[in-house]
Structure 1
Amino acid sequence: MTPPKTRTALVIGTGALAAVLTIAAAYFAGRPQPLTLPTQGRPAVGRADAPTLVIFEDYKCPACQAFTQETLPGLEARARAGEVRLVFMHRPFLAPDSRAAAIAAECVWRTRPEAFLTFHKALYAAQGDERVPWATAPLLSRVARGAGAGGPAWPRCLNSPAAAAAVDADNAAFLRGKARYTPAFYLGGNLIVRPSVAGINRAIDQARTP
């Protein structure tokens, strides 16, 4: 039989442990949890073992155009150097032709993956007023051909449900997170808040630090 003093110590020890666990649970419950994003099979540049930066965009979004033209080249260079893996995911929300543009890009990735970035940049270069339905079938076809991705497989992909389902899955993944704008950036599942160029690069550097 356990002596009374030892029993008291055990009770106190158990109570202290319970208190610690309660405090720890409250602490972790209050911390933002990383968002699990389905990046497998998505358009990507860089080594698979590098820190993953997920970029959500809408091809009709002017801020996304600015990011692609001004900031993406530097990040792409880091991806080519093996420092980060860039994963592009769709968040078409501005208009119906936002979704058409996303499906077109998805089909470039599925039929000519090496042409994806060329198409991606060219479509942003062709961006019109976000209030006007400029991402028409003729324009998308012209940009795809210019990127070297307008062969017979591309239009067949446009008419299949798979590309549209992938775009919708990306959009659903975005809505599970806390971002309410585009472009939005997740590194290791964590949203980069107020993503300046310096802030994005700093987050990548921190993720690379052992």
Structure 2
Amino acid sequence: MDLGPGRRLAPLRFVLPDVSEKNQEGKRTARERLAAEREKQRTAEKRRRALIVGASVVGVLGLAAVIGVVAANAGKDGEDASGPFVGPSGAQGKDGLVIPVGKDSAKSTLTVWEDFRCPACKSFEDAYRSTIHELTDAGKLKVEYRLATLIDGNMGGSGSRNAANAAACAQDTGRFPAYHDVLYQNQPPETDDAFAESGKLVELAKKVKGLDTAAFRRCVEDGTHNSWVVKSNEAFQKGRFSGTPTVLLDGRNIYQDRSMTPAKLKQMVEAKSGG
């Protein structure tokens, strides 16, 4: 375009944006975003760790609480199982752990370690019962009954202990021999802890004349002699016997003698008593 003499158009100038500046700005923004993301991750990680630690602490405290409750209950069970030591009337021997049957003047003494849940004990009683009664009634044999709770320990439950306590309650009334026999004659299968039930033990007491009284029922239900039973079983364990029954005639283990029979036992006792 002609603007006249001496005049010219000024050249057009285009201002381009500074690309390097934009790149720097973009990089700066990206760095900030990355830094923010990292900070977010660090915060999340801290929170996660805090939760794990908190859960661990709660778990430990919960476990400690459970252990404490179990320990406390175990202590209570021990107290319920034993209680104050009360031996049965007329008990003899060290710590009063022997229930005697027969005359003290008898020349022979038969010591019988038994468990009322023990099938082998029932077999022994069924085979030797009449012979033992004959010899004790004749004043030739004294029997020292000592009670254990071996089956409770092996099979679980409390029938051995509860039956032994009930037998001790019968001893208080002078009816131990008869009730002892009734328990074996009505022994449940080894895996059946029926003797753990007080009602069952009281029901069987009706088979013994004069035993089913309020005092007997209270003795059975309260576990009056449980502590005595526990101590008797401890004596059995300390004796390191092979099992129940353990039958000693004047200290000699005759139950392990395969040649022993009721007739042979009678012969041995009568020979010592002079016929």
Q: TM-score, normalised by structure 1?
A: 0.71
1:49 aligns with 2:105: yes
Larger radius of gyration: 2
Q: With CA pairs under 8 Å and 6+ residues apart, which has the higher RCO, 1 or 2?
A: 1
Kept after mapping to 2: 8 A contact 1:54/1:88: yes
CA contact (8 A) 2:110 2:142 kept: yes
Q: Work out whether residues 61 and 130 of structure 1, in 8 Å CA contact, stay in contact via their aligned partners in 2.
A: yes
1:170 matched residue in structure 2: 232
Q: Is the 8 A contact 1:44 1:86 kept in 2?
A: yes
- Tell me if structure 2 keeps the 8 A contact 1:59–1:127: yes
Q: Which runs of 5+ in 1 are unaligned?
A: 1-36
Query: What is the match of residue 142 of structure 1?
Result: 203
Q: Which amino acid is the alignment partner of residue 62 of structure 1? A: P
Aligned match of 1:197: 261
**Letter of the aligned partner of 2:103 in structure 1?**
R
> What's the CA shift for 1:78?
0.8
**Aligned pair 1:75/2:132, yes or no?**
yes
- Name the aligned partner's letter for residue 94 of structure 2: P
Contact 2:198 2:220 (8 Å CA) reproduced: no
- C-alpha separation in 2, matches of 1:40 and 1:93: 20
Match of 1:127 in 2: 187
Give me the whole-angstrom Cα distance separating, in 2, the residues matched to 1:145 and 1:83: 30
Matched residue type, 1:197: T
- SS at the partner of 1:139? helix
Corresponding pairs, count: 171
- Percent identity between matched residues is 25
Q: In 1, Cα distance between the equivalents of 2:180 and 2:220?
A: 16
Q: How many Å separate the matches in 2 of 1:41 and 1:59?
A: 16
Q: What's the C-alpha RMSD, in Å, of the aligned pairs? A: 2.5
Q: Determine the C-alpha separation between the residues in 1 that align with 2:142 and 2:95.
A: 11
Match of 2:147 among 82, 87, 90: 90
Listed one character per residue, the Cα deviations across residues 4-53 of structure 1 (whole Å, up to 9, x for unaligned) are: xxxxxxxxxxxxxxxxxxxxxxxxxxxxxxxxx63857332211022221
Question: Partners in 2 of 1:191 and 1:45 — Cα distance?
Answer: 19
Residue 105 of structure 1 corresponds to which residue in structure 2?
Answer: 167
State the 1:176 CA deviation.
2.5
Partner letter of residue 181 of structure 1?
G
Cα distance, 1:158 vs structure 2? 2.9
- Structure 1 residues 40 and 197: CA distance shift in structure 2, 3 A: farther
Between the aligned partners of 2:223 and 2:179, the Cα distance in structure 1 is: 21
Give the secondary structure class of the aligned counterpart of 1:146. Answer: coil
The CA distance in 1 between the partners of 2:242 and 2:191, in whole Å, is: 19
Answer yes or no: is the 8 Å Cα contact 1:178–1:191 preserved in 2: no
Distance 1:116 1:164 in 2: 16
Residues 191 and 206 (structure 1), Cα distance of their counterparts in 2 relative to 1, 3 Å cut: farther
Residue number in structure 1 paired with 2:49: none
